[in-house]
Copies of this chain bind each other. A is one copy, B any other.
Amino acid sequence: MAGKDAVEQGDSRIATGIAGLDEAISGGYPRSSLIMLSGKCGTGRTTFGLQFLIEGAKKGENGVFVTLEKEPQEVMAHAMGYSWEAKKYFEKKMVSVVKPDMHRFDSFKKALEEEIYRAGAKRIVIDSFSLISAYFHEDPYDVRRSISDLARMVRRLDCTAVVIEDILEGSAYLSYTGYKEFVVEGVIVLDIVKKDASTFARTLYVRKMAGTNHSLKLIPFEISSDGITAYPDAEVF
């Protein structure tokens, strides 16, 4: 089984599920870390996150998609729109989509932990992470501390988390308010950039990845019926 091999080969790395991306970050995300996937609206972050879970399922690692805004059915329909045989993994409960209540941060964190146990999950996606801070906290210091808390929890549970974060159009920040990127262990930025006066290109950029010798190049990617494919050796312009 291909998944088993991958785990054996590089236990400290976890495959991203994005063709072409693993090779740009030493084989995958650092296992048990919290990676922020930032981007403006329409940059493909949900697809990117789902692909991470499907990849896990293919490798025998269960995953949970935590949706805080869309309904689980919508998210599942989104996944099933691609050629991933997502339905199979949903049915086998290798990929679950849950929508927890948000009342207090502590109870949210507890619900998340229970869900991870219940699903035996090794991979989590939270969509969108912006809502957690918008809902629970206003103070930068508190937000930073909560993210550290979450990061510690996923490490303790030996889970790898990809958290989807909104960047406001026109903002230079790498997150909604500009300071979350300092706390997480990795930052990948998806973007839509102007190629010339009237065409745009999709790009991906590894801004930070703990303990990883990553390049700083803008990597073009495409979204097709197979999902996202990155071209680390191609040029955007």
Name A's B-contacting residues (CB within 8 A).
41-42, 69-71, 77-78, 81, 128, 130-131, 134-135, 140-141, 144-145, 148, 152, 166, 168-174, 178-179, 181-183, 187, 192, 197-203, 207-208, 210-211, 213, 216-218, 223-225, 235-237
Instruction: Give chain B nearest CB distance to A174 CB in angstroms.
Output: 5
Which residues of B sit under 8 angstroms from A182, Cβ to Cβ? 41, 128, 130, 166
Residues of B within 8 A of A208 (CB): 41-42
In the complex, what distance in Å separates the CA atom of A218 from the CA atom of B200?
Answer: 8
Q: Which of A135, A198, A236 has the most CB of B within 10 A?
A: A198
Residues of B within 8 A of A235 (CB): 198
Determine the residue in chain B with the shortest Cβ distance to A209: B42
- 7 smallest CB-CB distances across A and B, nearest first, come from A170-B172, A42-B208, A198-B218, A200-B216, A41-B181, A197-B237, A81-B211
Q: Tell me the bound Cα distance from A181 to B128 in angstroms.
A: 13
Report Cα–Cα, A145/B213, bound state, in Å. Answer: 39
Complex contact A197–B148 (CB within 8 A): no
User: Do residues A213 and B224 form an inter-chain contact, with CB atoms below 8 A?
Assistant: yes
- Chain B nearest CB, measured from A222 CB (Å): 10
> Do A179 and B173 touch (CB < 8 A)?
no
- Using Cβ atoms and an 8 Å threshold, which residues of chain B touch A178? 168-170
